[in-house]
């Protein structure tokens, strides 16, 4: 339990440092080594529950491995996988360490691996659904 608490404190410090904010309508918790977002009361369509600046998102362009990835002509999932592996290899030196240390070590449940039906069911109405990066 102590490790989970340390990870959550580090994650919340990381979010604050990267200007990521969430409302009192939700809480973020770790249970059995998985991260959950829990609604604390009814959330209505149009309620602002979080703000996440684009520069805080780990992408190929924002990764320290961008030049290497582009130099090899990698795209899509492969490019993002290399960016993720590179940033994870940096450990605490990565700007995303506070976030990355919460990710599972195997079998991540991420939108990139979801079926189109899961994406439509779970992400409809979000910015991620609008981007539709998984169709590239």
pTM: 0.69
15 with 46, same domain: the answer is yes
- Nearest CA to 82 among 74, 90, 71? 74
38 with 61, same domain: the answer is yes
34 with 51, same domain: the answer is yes
Name the 3-class secondary structure at 76: helix
Exposure pattern of 94-125 as b/e (b: 16+ CB <10 Å)? Answer: bbbbbbbbbeeeeeeeeeeeeeeeebeeebee
Give the pLDDT confidence of 67-104 residue by residue, as tens digits: 999 999 999 888 998 999 999 999 999 999 999 988 87
97 with 126, same domain: the answer is no
Domain that holds residue 84: 2-105
Exposure pattern of 56-76 as b/e (b: 16+ CB <10 Å)? Answer: bebebeebebbeebeeeebee
123 with 88, same domain: the answer is no
Give the pLDDT confidence of 41-57 residue by residue, as tens digits: 999 999 999 999 999 99
Residue with tokens 């409809």: 124
Contacts 24+ apart (CB under 8 A), 1-8: 4/30, 4/33, 7/101, 7/102, 8/102
pLDDT of 22 strictly over 70 = yes
96 with 136, same domain: the answer is no
Number of structural domains the chain divides into: 2
Give the pLDDT confidence of 95-130 residue by residue, as tens digits: 999 999 888 766 556 666 777 888 788 778 777 777
90 with 63, same domain: the answer is yes
CATH number at residue 101: 3.90.1410.10
63 with 84, same domain: the answer is yes
User: What is the rounded distance in angstroms from the CA atom of residue 120 to the CA atom of residue 136?
Assistant: 16
Mean pLDDT (the chain) is 85
């Amino acid at each position: 339990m102590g490790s989970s608490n340390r990870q959550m404190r580090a994650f919340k410090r990381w979010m604050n440092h990267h200007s990521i904010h969430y409302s009192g309508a939700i809480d973020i918790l770790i249970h059995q080594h998985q991260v959950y977002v829990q609604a604390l009361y009814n959330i209505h369509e149009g309620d602002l529950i979080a703000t996440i600046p684009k520069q805080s998102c780990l992408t190929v362009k924002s990764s320290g491995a961008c030049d290497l990835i582009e130099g090899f002509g990698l795209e899509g999932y492969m490019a993002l996988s290399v960016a993720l592996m590179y940033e994870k290899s940096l450990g605490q030196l990565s700007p995303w360490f506070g976030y990355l240390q919460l990710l599972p070590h195997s079998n991540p449940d991420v939108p990139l691996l979801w079926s189109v039906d899961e994406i439509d069911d779970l992400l409809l109405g979000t910015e991620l659904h609008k981007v539709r990066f998984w169709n590239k």
